[in-house]
A and B are shown apart, each in its own frame.
Chain A
Amino acid sequence: MYNLTIAELAKGLRAGEFSSVELTQTYLNRIHQHSALNAYVTVTDELALQQAQAADAKIAGGDTSLLTGIPIAQKDIFCTLGVKTTCGSKMLDNFIAPYNATVVDKLNQAGAVMLGKVNMDEFAMGSSNETSYYGPTKNPWNTGTVPGGSSGGSATAVAARLAVCATGTDTGGSIRQPAALCGITGLKPTYGRVSRYGMIAYASSLDQGGPMTRNAEDAAILLQAMAGFDDKDSTSVDQPVPDYLADLNKPLTGLKIGLPKEFFTADLNGDMAATLETAINHYRQMGAEVKEISMPTLKMAIPAYYVIAPAECSANLSRFDGVRFGYRCENPADLADLYTRSRGEAFGKEVKRRILMGTYALSAGYYDAYYIKAQKVRRLISDDFKNALAEVDVIMGPVTPMPAFGIGEKLANPIEMYLSDIYTIAINLAGLPAMSIPAGFINDLPVGLQIIGNYFDEARLLNVAHQYQQVTDWHQQTPKGFE
């Protein structure tokens, strides 16, 4: 049961082969059985079974939503009314969200059953899930390695069949990178496609929530429910949501694929290059045209991102001050002590690093040299993409330089960790949609292929991904011990 996709489960539920309650109970059992993976921060057993019961009633009544009764994991960055919402941080360890994020509301309305809240890098800052207050999550393919981050819990849950699907968020690669390292499918939508209301902010102009699933079809189903205009989010785009399932099977003849030469340099690991070449050959066989493109400003993406994201987050995290919610230090001597100690005791090192960096970049005397400069570089990067996508339909490349690294391996050197974001980060600066799909294995660890599309062209991305998944079976592999 737990190996079935959303589409298959939807059929099974309606055919009466099993109930949502049974399905949910199966997943809950697996979650508790595999708690060593540390994928979940909070498991909402009772609530899930209640939702499952309601779903079963809906299905009996003829409900047609594909997500009804489907067990889902919510990244602990989405506010869930009445349920602990930690954002992977001690700062929110006692935070019972008093409202639902719009994404959560939408998924509830679509009938999904929430199994619980999954682990993540603290405040979404990290690429390995190691900065979480709740400890690292383990990659089910090799529990000595990281699942990636910041949506590490989401990726692990889906890969290890501890949820049918999960929500993730992506600011610099946090859906795509863990999807790649865990051998699942992840999609970061166009900026503004999915509401950010209730999605605890890291970098407001870069954050987007998206689906993490076993395959492209499931991603289409989940995205369908998540996407849409929200009048509570000023950055939400009022554009109709297309039927993401409609074009999944369009043939790819004539598809123009661009490969940025800046992605395929001599620095790219040999095995990775070979894996990607094989993947791209499948596309050639399906009738796509592949050409080399150049995006000269791409290499500036990391410095630009590591000014902009920390700058925005340094302000976004100022609200965590021990006054109205969240952690408050004991016996504050005065107001200054309340702030300094509450924030000092409850934020982890990576979060502090980024707040410090952001504060510095915005401070008097440095604003022009760092922040404004980074925003200008951002425009150049965005223009590079616009120019490229005028020539090709999609851009492809690696997601990560390497497969999953060992837990603890990169913690000592944060800069090295930042540099591993090199393939994903530019996309967030431009606000474009992108996916990661399983493309093979290196040293028995999964690696992904990244597909980048034009603004609001998620349907095409899903089509391109889906067709690949018809001629390969990487996405159907299960980690040993979790079959």
Chain B
Amino acid sequence: MTTQWETVIGLEIHTQLATKSKIFSGASTAYGAEPNTQACAVDLGLPGVLPVLNEQAVRMAVTFGLAIDAHIAPHSVFARKNYFYPDLPKGYQISQMDLPIVGNGHLDIEVDGEIKRIGITRAHLEEDAGKSLHENFHGMTGIDLNRAGTPLLEIVSEPDMRSAKEAVAYMRKLHELVRYLEICDGNMQEGSFRCDANVSVRPIGQAEFGTRAEIKNINSFKFVEKAINHEIERQIEVIESGGKVVQETRLYDANKDETRSMRSKEEANDYRYFPDPDLLPVVISDEFKEIVKATLPELPHAKKQRFIEQYGQDEESATTLTSSRELADFYEAVVKDSGVEAKLASNWMTGDVLGALNKAGLEISQSPVSPERLAGLLKRIADNTISGRTAKQVFDKLWNGTATADEIIEQEGLKQITDTGAIEAIVDKVIAANPGPVEQYLSGKDKALMALVGQIMKETQGKANPGEVNKMLIEKLKG
């Protein structure tokens, strides 16, 4: 009998908060500076220095907590997590242990059309460590402490996920949320959003969790899914061949598509947490919470619902258009500016605009077509100046140039023929010249109409409105 296995996954995500200065010092957090040029005395852990807490880091943590409906601790404490590593200047990391700033909350994810609620156990503030560089130092490792002291919000989920797919969905949702809230830029290549996955398996029906392994520092959505799936397979194999899963930390190797044990972390660390005596309890008053609440932006879920109601969109379009704040804002600017039907705008956005962006590998913020120029195009579709087909030509020109839709239409003479008299003349002409298709249509072959339409469009160089043409043809033929 083969065991049916269930996977249990919890994610710990470290988000770098987008503050200007560090969590406990006034040094800059800007990415990409020359090594150790943004490491001040406090960041270096020089003898005698002391930490002072950054207000914005607190504000951002509370913002996050409110956005996930979590309990905000009225009183939270910083603790020292003690261990030795060269990128950890003080020999301890200032983090939070017993009393984190954000308590229980949740995030709803959608997988295969179903909504699932993923619990978030807690989120706490801590300082980031520096970076170790292992190459080019004749057998030595070089330490850059610019990153030391950057504020992190560590978000810990409940072990509620049951598949790699769910894990990815959760990670994406969280990624979207922190960017919406503008508390984190979500740049995974730069290390602003780092994921550790805790994975275990158990026979279906067993109440106890299996032994879990931790997969560290996965920096892309693609890798998360692969790494977790690989790990699940590995664990099942270990158990099924009579072994036991070891509680350990593993690193994902993207090149080999496998996880391997991290040697240096084999021994269980005794971090000897205790409240940091250099810092005092952080008190969050109800007034402070109200102030932060009032500045919360419209959250993705609420925005999606509003798009469905206000713009009459379907679930899929609404989801796509609200997947980032920039995209949603772009869309709404287009609707406002053009005054056209929301649906026309959303079709163009989800179809042509996103298509072009994906092809060129660009983000919406890098779109060569601004909301205003797109609005200009949509207006001319809506007022029948050009046909839908012509519009696609115009869009291409908008994308590859700087002219407005009006300028392009003018330059290329793309105005639709709306003079019914002129169209009628051509329709009559084509009917007369094509008795075959006419007869086929009249005897029930609807498809024959297309050939006639095609001819008419050719005659008018595509400038007749296909809808009008169609209507007129049918009227004339059916008599």
Within 8 A of A (CB), among B77-97: 80, 82, 84, 86, 89-92
B143 within 8 Å of A (CB atoms): yes
Distance between Cα atoms of A321 and B86 in the complex (Å): 9
A318 within 8 Å of B (CB atoms): yes
Question: B50, A99: Cβ atoms under 8 Å?
Answer: no
Question: B84, A324: Cβ atoms under 8 Å?
Answer: no
Determine, out of B273-281, B312-320, B338-346, the stretch whose residues face the partner at the interface. Answer: B273-281
Question: Which single residue of chain B is at the shortest CB-CB distance from A99?
Answer: B41
B256 within 8 Å of A (CB atoms): no
A216 within 8 Å of B (CB atoms): no
Within 8 A of A (CB), among B272-292: 272-274, 277-280
Binary A-proximity of B334-369 (CB < 8 A = 1, otherwise 0): 000000000000000000000000000000000000
The size of the chain B interface, using a CB distance under 8 A, is: 28
Question: Which single residue of chain B is at the shortest CB-CB distance from A362?
Answer: B272
Using Cβ atoms and an 8 Å threshold, which residues of chain A touch B92?
315, 318
Binary B-proximity of A195-216 (CB < 8 A = 1, otherwise 0): 0111111011100000000000
Asked if A324 meets B80 with Cβ closer than 8 Å, knowing A204-B277, A234-B51, A234-B52, the reply is no
Distance between Cα atoms of A197 and B44 in the complex (Å): 14
Binary B-proximity of A220-252 (CB < 8 A = 1, otherwise 0): 000000000001111100000000000000000
B45 within 8 Å of A (CB atoms): yes
A110 within 8 Å of B (CB atoms): no
Shortest CB distance A34–B (Å): 29
Using Cβ atoms and an 8 Å threshold, which residues of chain A touch B90?
315, 318-319
Using Cβ atoms and an 8 Å threshold, which residues of chain A touch B49?
197-198
Asked if A99 meets B272 with Cβ closer than 8 Å, knowing A234-B280, A315-B82, A362-B82, the reply is no
A441 within 8 Å of B (CB atoms): no
The total of Cβ contacts below 8 Å across the A-B interface reads 98
Question: Which single residue of chain B is at the shortest CB-CB distance from A335?
Answer: B86
Question: Which single residue of chain A is at the shortest CB-CB distance from B143?
Answer: A323
Using Cβ atoms and an 8 Å threshold, which residues of chain A touch B280?
234-235
Shortest CB distance A342–B (Å): 11
Contact check: which of A98, A203, A315, A339 meets B46 at CB < 8 Å? A98
Contact check: which of A99, A200, A235, A318 meets B278 at CB < 8 Å? A235
Distance between Cα atoms of A312 and B44 in the complex (Å): 19
Shortest CB distance A77–B (Å): 8
Distance between Cα atoms of A101 and B143 in the complex (Å): 26
Distance between Cα atoms of A363 and B268 in the complex (Å): 13
Question: A319, B91: Cβ atoms under 8 Å?
Answer: yes
Contact check: which of A198, A234, A364 meets B270 at CB < 8 Å? A364
Shortest CB distance B255–A (Å): 26
Question: B80, A315: Cβ atoms under 8 Å?
Answer: yes
Asked if A312 meets B277 with Cβ closer than 8 Å, knowing A98-B41, A318-B84, A318-B91, the reply is yes
Asked if A234 meets B53 with Cβ closer than 8 Å, knowing A321-B91, A362-B272, A362-B274, the reply is yes
A129 within 8 Å of B (CB atoms): no
Distance between Cα atoms of A234 and B52 in the complex (Å): 6
B48 within 8 Å of A (CB atoms): yes
Question: B274, A234: Cβ atoms under 8 Å?
Answer: no
Asked if A319 meets B82 with Cβ closer than 8 Å, knowing A234-B280, A363-B270, A367-B274, the reply is no
Using Cβ atoms and an 8 Å threshold, which residues of chain A touch B479?
none
Question: A199, B84: Cβ atoms under 8 Å?
Answer: no
Distance between Cα atoms of A110 and B113 in the complex (Å): 72
Contact check: which of A232, A311, A326 meets B52 at CB < 8 Å? A232
Contact check: which of A200, A203, A323 meets B48 at CB < 8 Å? A200
Shortest CB distance A228–B (Å): 15
B47 within 8 Å of A (CB atoms): yes
A454 within 8 Å of B (CB atoms): no
Question: B91, A232: Cβ atoms under 8 Å?
Answer: no
Contact check: which of B46, B51, B274 meets A371 at CB < 8 Å? B274
Which of B44, B278, B279 has the most C-beta atoms of chain A within 10 angstroms of its own C-beta?
Answer: B278
Asked if A87 meets B46 with Cβ closer than 8 Å, knowing A234-B52, A318-B90, A367-B272, the reply is no
Distance between Cα atoms of A397 and B48 in the complex (Å): 32
Within 8 A of A (CB), among B409-462: none
Question: A318, B82: Cβ atoms under 8 Å?
Answer: yes
Using Cβ atoms and an 8 Å threshold, which residues of chain B touch A323?
86, 89, 143
A79 within 8 Å of B (CB atoms): yes
Contact check: which of A205, A318, A320 meets B277 at CB < 8 Å? A205
Question: B47, A319: Cβ atoms under 8 Å?
Answer: yes
Question: A359, B272: Cβ atoms under 8 Å?
Answer: yes
Shortest CB distance B26–A (Å): 9
Using Cβ atoms and an 8 Å threshold, which residues of chain B touch A205?
277
Shortest CB distance B297–A (Å): 31
Question: Which single residue of chain A is at the shortest CB-CB distance from B280?
Answer: A234
Distance between Cα atoms of A266 and B127 in the complex (Å): 53
Distance between Cα atoms of A339 and B84 in the complex (Å): 8
Using Cβ atoms and an 8 Å threshold, which residues of chain B touch A203?
277
Distance between Cα atoms of A198 and B279 in the complex (Å): 16
A325 within 8 Å of B (CB atoms): yes
Distance between Cα atoms of A196 and B48 in the complex (Å): 7
Which of A99, A196, A235, A318 has the most C-beta atoms of chain B within 10 angstroms of its own C-beta?
Answer: A318
Using Cβ atoms and an 8 Å threshold, which residues of chain A touch B273?
362, 367
Asked if A234 meets B84 with Cβ closer than 8 Å, knowing A318-B90, A367-B274, the reply is no
Shortest CB distance A382–B (Å): 15
Within 8 A of B (CB), among A67-94: 78-79, 85, 87, 92
Shortest CB distance B423–A (Å): 78
A2 within 8 Å of B (CB atoms): no
Using Cβ atoms and an 8 Å threshold, which residues of chain B touch A204?
277-278
Given contacts A85-B47, A321-B84, A359-B272, 5 further A-B contacts (CB under 8 A): A201-B48, A232-B52, A234-B50, A324-B44, A362-B274
- Please list 18 pairs of residues, one from A and one from B, whose beta carbons are closer than 8 Å in the complex, sorted by A's number: A78-B48, A79-B47, A92-B47, A99-B46, A200-B48, A201-B278, A231-B52, A232-B52, A234-B52, A235-B278, A314-B82, A315-B82, A315-B90, A318-B84, A319-B91, A321-B86, A323-B89, A324-B45
Q: Which residues of B contact A (CB under 8 A)?
A: 41, 44-53, 80, 82, 84, 86, 89-92, 143, 270, 272-274, 277-280
